[in-house]
Amino acid sequence: MNKHHFARPRVSGFTLTELLVVISLAALLGAMVLPSLNTASDTAKAAVCLGNMHEWGMAMGMYCEDWNEYFPREGTVGTPIDTAGNLAAWYNVCPRYINQPRLVDLYNAGMPPTPRTKSVWSCPAATSTVTTAQIIIGNPYFMYAFNARMDPNGPTQFQRSQMTSPANTILLCEADGAGSTVGAALTVARHFGGAHFVLGDGHAEWIKYDDYCRSCPSNQCADTDSSALCDWAKGIKYHWFPFKGAST
């Protein structure tokens, strides 16, 4: 009688050792790829922010051309943006030059800019968790702000032509909701250890923290940005005041 021998079917799969190797390789690849993805995301956010600053630089320049070289007002922090004085602030008079609504109109329409909105008002790298319901016309939220030292207190206003070094003088900077106007101490470094700025000649640029901070050892100023003399000290590349000795 013939005996039939049947081969045992081969079961395909991974051994425990093979699975451990695969898991280790997957973890290694993930550790290598995720930082690259995060860097790419941060770079994209920085590019959007720089583009926003470029738009505001054009708006500021066209405003100055229409108003005999005078810069717009910074706005009064702590008061509603629809008050008489604030209707002349940069965020209400400059947007029309880049086909944008005034900030007061956005608030009146129930559409205040937040870190989650895509607009020229919003930096995508802003990390605040504020919601539209929390932002009101009497307590606005700003991701960009005017340089406080370019609008002296009182009736005096600076003109673009007064700047000693327009390409190195700050007009607009990044803010973390603090208000429509800030100085060096309140400018937030959201992008790779620095921030984006609009300079006096209208161009937008990334500047590292140590170069715009005034209390940093490298700048040898102990008073943040409150002194025009210190601001124009030897070795300081970027300026918050339009010229040496300018009033605050």
Instruction: Report pLDDT digits (tens) over 47-73.
Output: 999 999 999 999 999 999 999 999 999
More confident residue, 89 or 153: 89
pLDDT tens-place string over residues 179-218 = 888 877 778 899 999 999 999 999 999 999 888 887 666 6
* 68, burial (CB in 10 Å: exposed 0-12, middle 13-18, buried 19+): exposed
Tokens coding 156: 């005096």
Phi and psi (nearest 5°) for 29?
Answer: -65, -40
Residues 6+ apart with CB under 8 A from 167: 199, 200, 201, 203
Q: How do the domains of the chain map onto residue ranges?
A: 32-231
Cβ neighbors of 22 (< 8 A, separation 6 or more) are: 14
For 230-240, the pLDDT digits (tens) are: 788 777 889 99
Against a cut of 0.85, is the pTM above it? no
Which residue, chain included where needed, has tokens 């290598």? 32
Residues 140, 89 contacting (CB under 8 angstroms)? no
**What 3-state class would DSSP assign to 239?**
strand
Reading the block at residue 132, the tokens are 């539209």
Measuring CA to CA, which residue among 169, 154, 13, 165 is closest to residue 85? 154
